[in-house]
A = this chain, B = another copy of it.
């Protein structure tokens, strides 16, 4: 938490109560949250904070690498404290995004893409389906 705030001021950004609370909310969560979910939790702590401030800061925090933005194929973007490069199994039942410990941008595939002459900037790999909990729920 303190480290995150330091990263902000080290880059010349101010440490505002709004930013503290947004980071607190994200620290307290163990899953990805949408901007709206974050704004709701933030307002439980400090009702005066504007949703625009939440969006503004989520953008900033993602830009400087404090957060990672998970831009799902559909629905709103989701955020969490940056935990490094990852891909996800996204459940159509409960919406959970489960980290997948593997990345397709390597080995043969990486080689093929490089050899095509395309200059890679970023990549995105997303699997949708049903997590084990939701599979069990369907069978009831």
Say whether B132 contacts A118, CB under 8 Å: yes
A118–B124 Cα distance when bound, in Å, is 19
25 contacts between A and B (CB under 8 A): A71-B73, A73-B124, A89-B118, A98-B116, A98-B118, A100-B112, A100-B113, A100-B116, A101-B112, A104-B104, A104-B125, A105-B127, A113-B127, A117-B131, A117-B132, A118-B129, A118-B130, A118-B131, A121-B128, A121-B130, A122-B129, A123-B126, A123-B128, A124-B125, A124-B127
New contact pairs (6) apart from A98-B118, A104-B125, CB-CB < 8 Å: A100-B112, A105-B127, A113-B127, A117-B131, A123-B126, A125-B126
